[in-house]
Structure 1
Amino acid sequence: MTEEAASLGLVGYLAQTVGVTEPAFRLIVGVLLGYPLAQIYRKYIYNQDEQKQCLYFILSGLSIGFWNFGLGLLHCLLSIFVTYAAISCLSGLAMVSVVFGFNFAYLLVGYIYSSTDSYDITWTMPYCVLVLRLIGVTYDVYDGARPKEKLSSDALKSALKEPPTLLQILGHSFFPSAFLVGPQFSMRRFLDFIKGDFHSKGPNGEILPPASTSAALKRMTLGIFYMAFFQFLSFFVSDDTIISDDFAQLNIFKRQFLLGVWGRFTLYKYISVWLLTEGACILFGISYNGEENGVAKWNGVSNIKLWIFESSTEFNHYIMSFNANTNQWVAQHIYKRLKFLNNKYISQGGVLLFLAVWHGLHSGYYVVFLHEFVVMYVERDFQSFVKSNKAVSAFFANPLVKPVCKVLLHMYTFVFMGWSLLPLVYLQFPRYWRAYSNCGYSGFILWYLWPLLYAPLLRKIFKKSHQSQS
């Protein structure tokens, strides 16, 4: 080993060799370890009793966690024990309030003491995943004690009649292919999985490992492809590109195009990791999602819907397809539980505020989710405007106009998804405001002037047109 390698340590040297930080390298290795651990499970553990399966998940997940975060993992263990104590000793809304309040407060304190000016790979990363998992389990126990007629369809599927044991909570929390970065899945799914409900059966009725190897390899291959494409895009753009003086000197069209490329560069980083974790979950078998035409589906924990994502023509498509498990969790446990407010905009605002706080304390998180609220309002208002005007509807329905509109909408989502991500990546106001400036404040001009200028003007024009025709 060279003197340089010795000073960095083996892991640091390997990370430098592949061009990533050491925490990022450890994270990727931790994700990839899900595959050999799944193979061991399929060969030796799948037909063991539930306690032995939970112990395997706990030990393997803890090993990955300690290798990535060291003693920082003790924060996760503390929260699991507090959650279990609350479920064991309390009930109803008191139980939910204690678990929700403690875990969220602990996460915020963790952000205060460990956050820097950039995106951090510390113990708060798996802990923010764990917070949703523990709150979700508590809600499921709470729903299990409520009358069925008061539950939503999602709550009916995940409600727990009996509180889980400590071993089950630990196994669910430290599931090795989902502990670091997700995906989220309910305790109900985990319990069905360790009971063997998702396993295959041989000709004589014997239990076999899940028949998911082919599906897992396909998802893993996609993950590797997206990671390679992410690396390819890094030759053209990086986080430093958008806030550089050279970028600001480019013509407006080139800047907008590169902004779209940078947006894909940013999102593909997440997508590649999610695909790799999903592949490992499929190999374990926990992603079983029933059968269709006699063929098993393995998309039960899919976090990215690639076809919808890549063919998006409106921002709602991104919301439907990106980070799907977290969106589903928030819809079930936050949005639907705010229905008593009888105002969908307040409920949506509550969801977006929850997500912003869950991500961290940097102002960029709050700006990006406020921006999401504005964009969704503008798109819905524009769609309502089109539907309410026969002339406009007929224009967009014209066979010659439709394909042109589709291309333009693809360009719109491609470019402005990058614009929407600026606060999420740069986090600090001076940095993302510099990025806004370099991009010509294009998103503000497009969306934020809609209710103030564009919408009133268009409605006035078409109202006069309608009056003149009548």
Structure 2
Amino acid sequence: MATEVISQSWLAGLATSLNVPEAAVRLLASILLGFPLALFHRYKLYGKEQTLQHIFFIISGLSIGYWNYGTDILHSAFSLCVTYLILKIVGGTNLSVIMSFIFNLTYLLVGYYTTSTEEYDIKWTMPQCVLTLRLIGLAFDLYDGRKKEEMLSASQKETALKSVPSFLEIAAYIYFPGSFLVGPQFSMNRYLKYVNGELRDPDSSNELPPCIVPGFLRALAGFGYIVVFQLGSMYVSDDYIVDSSFSNESFWKRWFLLGLWGRVNLYKYISCWLITEGVCIVFGITYNGKDENEVQRWDGCANVKLLVFENATQFNHYILSFNTNTNHWCAEYIYKRLKFLGSKFYSQAATLIFLAVWHGFHSGYYICFFIEFIIMYFEKDIGPVLNSNKKLQAHLSNPIIAVLVWFVMKIYTFVFMGYALIPFVLLKHSKYLQVFATFHFLGHILFMGYPLIAPFLKSLIRENRQRSHNE
């Protein structure tokens, strides 16, 4: 009891000095606990009897979960038990997928409904949302494992399960201390290969994989992003953009500050993902073969591609680089499974709706993903038309023009990513509508109005192409 009081006092003091919620400090401390656990596993349990490894992961994950959420951690245990029974009784069938999907998503939504406030909450529903995808994916993987090999995609062949894993294996998989709280997502097959000692260079003479340095370097990058986030939050906080002083700024300054605010908020997530990825690398579960230069890759659980993200000039670049594991999960288990709809447009819309529902009931999530949808529609619709205009592309090949275009596109993504994040971060309609109003809903007007002018705009571009051809 005394230790717990000291822990709470220390956390409260640190949270106050950093001006962040105590729950956020506790979450970060819990993620960092993964490093000593990874080192202990590396030198005492790596390559040892699998049952010992499973038990170690279960105890570690449950202990961290209890420290954060108390007895609410039992919600994850209940979901585990129900899903395991579904897989044992009807696993590998369409029914098992449907039952697992409905049960886990419904349980998560009930959790959101009973615990949600008007702010972003760090509660037991946070690891539960990670768990939800993991258990639904498990049912899909077992379903794929009952199909004929030639019916599976390359990705499905890597994740398909031929039989139901044991209860101990599934429990260790979901409570794995490097990913239990905030991800990243990875397949059951990757976990099983890891405890079997298969995720390492088979040609290496080293008994232990050389993953410590790459792991700590990745985490160090995460701490760099934390520093930038903290400094940025002091300049453009969430409270500031809903304050009257923000709306009184000049029009162009408001747009710049909005883009900066959006960037800072994204860095909050990136910093967390980089540190958790670092933990997973030190564990050794991220081994991903070798590159073309025969250098070992440790990006098997990477959740952000920093170079693509920082150099983004299209919204699609953000999708390709930000929260990549969740995006990959949605692509494999939602988007591609909706092929029967016969339309990429409908499949994408349904996938984004699922993502919004998975995040919770706040209207801000739905508005955010709607804005993402209309912006992506704009880019995918106009992009091929622009690329087909040879005369325009010839002009863009000029180095000076190319630099100018790059600069304009950077501003475009910088500003409108901030615009799209307004409802996602502020959540309440009274807050995000107020901020949208300070920008006269310009983003909505531009991207929702595009379909109305698209026929004229595309015909104009194609007409220019035709003139060039005639000349």
TM bucket, shorter chain: over 0.9
1:251–1:45 Cα change, 3 Å: same
Paired residues in the alignment total: 463
Task: Describe the superposition over 1:269-305 as per-residue Cα deviations: whole angstroms up to 9, x where unpaired.
Answer: 0000000000000000000000123321000000000
Task: Describe the superposition over 1:343-365 as per-residue Cα deviations: whole angstroms up to 9, x where unpaired.
Answer: 11111111111101000011111
Question: Is residue 57–residue 174 contact of structure 1 (8 Å, CA) maintained in 2?
Answer: yes
1:108–1:397 Cα change, 3 Å: same
Aligned to 1:27: 27
Q: How big is the shift at 1:17?
A: 2.8
2:234 equivalent to 1:213 = no
Aligned to 1:380: 380
1:356–1:66 Cα change, 3 Å: same
2:185 equivalent to 1:163 = no
Aligned to 2:356: 356
Q: How big is the shift at 1:16?
A: 1.7
Aligned to 2:277: 278
Task: Describe the superposition over 1:324-382 as per-residue Cα deviations: whole angstroms up to 9, x where unpaired.
Answer: 00011111111111112111111111111110100001111111111111011101122
Question: Is residue 140–residue 159 contact of structure 1 (8 Å, CA) maintained in 2?
Answer: yes
- Which letter does structure 1 place at the counterpart of 2:431? R
1:245–1:7 Cα change, 3 Å: farther
Q: State the TM-score, normalizing by the size of structure 1.
A: 0.94
Give secondary structure in 1 for the equivalent of 2:399: coil
Give secondary structure in 1 for the equivalent of 2:213: helix
Please identify, of 290-299 and 165-174, the stretch whose mean Cα deviation from structure 2 is larger.
290-299
- Which letter does structure 2 place at the counterpart of 1:99? S
Give secondary structure in 1 for the equivalent of 2:235: coil
1:191–1:463 Cα change, 3 Å: closer
2:426 equivalent to 1:446 = no
Q: CA RMSD in A?
A: 2.0
Give secondary structure in 2 for the equivalent of 1:234: helix
Aligned to 1:94: 95
Distance between the aligned counterparts of 1:389 and 1:294, measured in 2?
41
1:83–1:386 Cα change, 3 Å: same
Task: Describe the superposition over 1:96-126 as per-residue Cα deviations: whole angstroms up to 9, x where unpaired.
Answer: 1111110011011001100111111000000
Aligned to 2:193: 192
Distance between the aligned counterparts of 1:401 and 1:239, measured in 2?
36
- Which letter does structure 2 place at the counterpart of 1:331? A
Task: Describe the superposition over 1:68-99 as per-residue Cα deviations: whole angstroms up to 9, x where unpaired.
Answer: 01111110000000011111111301111111
Aligned to 2:142: 141
Question: Percentage identity across aligned positions?
Answer: 45
Distance between the aligned counterparts of 2:187 and 2:462, measured in 1?
51
Question: Is residue 252–residue 440 contact of structure 1 (8 Å, CA) maintained in 2?
Answer: no
Question: Is residue 363–residue 428 contact of structure 2 (8 Å, CA) maintained in 1?
Answer: yes
Q: How big is the shift at 1:8?
A: 7.1
Aligned to 2:228: 229
The unaligned stretches of length 5 or more in structure 2 are none
Aligned to 2:420: 420
Task: Describe the superposition over 1:369-398 as per-residue Cα deviations: whole angstroms up to 9, x where unpaired.
Answer: 111110111011221221343433333333
Aligned to 2:264: 265
Aligned to 1:41: 41
Distance between the aligned counterparts of 1:345 and 1:22, measured in 2?
42
Aligned to 1:122: 123
Distance between the aligned counterparts of 2:135 and 2:462, measured in 1?
53
Q: State the TM-score, normalizing by the size of structure 2.
A: 0.94
